[in-house]
Structure 1
Amino acid sequence: MVIPMEMPGERDKHAWRREILARRSALSAAEHAAAAAALARGVRALAVGEWVCAYVPVRGEPGSTALLEELRAAGARILLPVTGAPGALDWAEYTGVAGLRAARFGLLEPAGPVLGAEVVARAEVILVPALAVDRRGVRLGRGAGYYDRTLGSARPGARLVAVVRDEEFVDRLPEEAHDLRVGWVLTPGGGLRALDGSEE
């Protein structure tokens, strides 16, 4: 069941995060699996090119490794983030589920060689984790700033795609000067959609 996320009045990012994380933790395994399967089907709409930056969903994030396998089946080579010191993310190539290892913050990341932060510029498509995204492309992350620091190094014209549940695609989120907008959203029910980036 989809419950609208919109609430009257202004809310700050902390309030948004609390609300969304609480809703995610209340989802059943069946609801999560159904959304993950829909996202894996929806990612087929992407013309991915040779390189795609993605991530392994954890802690209730929408999606699954099936989405990564769909990208591989389409011929893409996939870069996944590797955690390190605060700053821009490092990346390593995904070679399949068997090549993942447990990492900091409960994440899964490739066990292969770390390729550095600059390889994000190879990707024509970057799938970005988000707690929510609005119709202007404003993305709400977890607040650590890793992706805001990383996306500034993306190649010009790269498609930045926020992956969220349907109810996490909202009309308007709070925005700060350092927030980088995305141009696309992928949701289980709506598939892949371009965002207009307008202020209205």
Structure 2
Amino acid sequence: MDKLKLRTSIEAARSSIPDERRHAASVRIRESLMDRPWVQMAGLIACYWSIGTEPATHGLVFALWKHGATVILPVLREDDDLDWAVYDGPDTLAPGRFGLMEPVDTRRGVDAVRTAALVIVPALAVDASTGVRLGRGGGSYDRALARVGPNVPTVALLHDGELLDGVPAEAHDRAVRYAATPDGIVRIPTDA
């Protein structure tokens, strides 16, 4: 299956998930992540503010921030790369490009993600054996993941059934080291 067909299929499946089930799944993902020592000890965490049918991150971002982590969220640049700014509570977000909620704090630059001790990214699917993630097609997170060090945990948040045996990949696609699903955290068994 090619990327476009897989994206369309996953987005249709996500749209059919009832709101209550989607919310419960997001709570389980958040609780699983917050129970991990490598999440609890991360001082600087790059995350994202979810939209639409993505596993919700609003509660996760707030919980990380309340736990004492510095959370940076992406700011979509004109060239579709990601700048980063600090989240300092729910009142510090404003609509950016395409209506995406972004922090109003000073921009830290595209390389700010290099200093994160944990990076949490969106995905439509992740290959269970390679860690390659399927995004929405803009390449923004592939560029960000290319800047992340080899020992930093990178986690994609998924709904049930989105950790797959095979995801179409191209040379620019970047892998993640973990997939967080409602059933728990899965370590991808590669050097990704």
Taking structure 1 as the reference length, the TM-score comes to: 0.88
Partner of 1:8: none
Contact 2:48 2:57 in 1 (8 A): no
Contact 1:43 1:71 in 2 (8 A): no
Match status 1:167 vs 2:161: yes
Match status 1:43 vs 2:37: no
**For residues 79 and 187 of structure 1, do their structure 2 counterparts lie closer, same or farther at Cα, with a shift above 3 Å needed?**
same
Q: Which one of the candidate residues 86, 89, 92 is aligned to 1:99?
A: 92
> Once the two structures are superposed, what CA deviation does each residue of 1:16-43 show, in whole Å capped at 9, x if it has no partner?
0000111112222111111111111111
Q: Distance between the aligned counterparts of 1:19 and 1:138, measured in 2?
A: 18
> Once the two structures are superposed, what CA deviation does each residue of 1:91-144 show, in whole Å capped at 9, x if it has no partner?
000111111111222311111111111111110110010001111201000000
- Provide structure 2 residue ranges, at least 5 long, that are not aligned to the other structure: none
Q: Which one of the candidate residues 22, 36, 43 is aligned to 2:12?
A: 22
Contact 1:54 1:81 in 2 (8 A): yes
Structure 1 range deviating more: 130-139 or 105-114: 105-114
Q: Which one of the candidate residues 135, 138, 144 is aligned to 1:141?
A: 135
Coordinate RMSD, CA, aligned: 1.4
Q: Distance between the aligned counterparts of 1:45 and 1:63, measured in 2?
A: 17
Q: Distance between the aligned counterparts of 2:57 and 2:74, measured in 1?
A: 15
Partner of 1:195: 188
Number of positions where the alignment pairs a residue of Structure 1 with one of Structure 2 = 187
- Provide structure 1 residue ranges, at least 5 long, that are not aligned to the other structure: 1-10
Q: Which one of the candidate residues 55, 66, 75 is aligned to 2:59?
A: 66
Identity, in percent, stands at: 37
Taking structure 2 as the reference length, the TM-score comes to: 0.92
Deviation at 1:87, TM superposition (A): 4.6
Partner of 1:131: 124
Q: Distance between the aligned counterparts of 1:197 and 1:175, measured in 2?
A: 15
Q: Distance between the aligned counterparts of 2:79 and 2:15, measured in 1?
A: 26
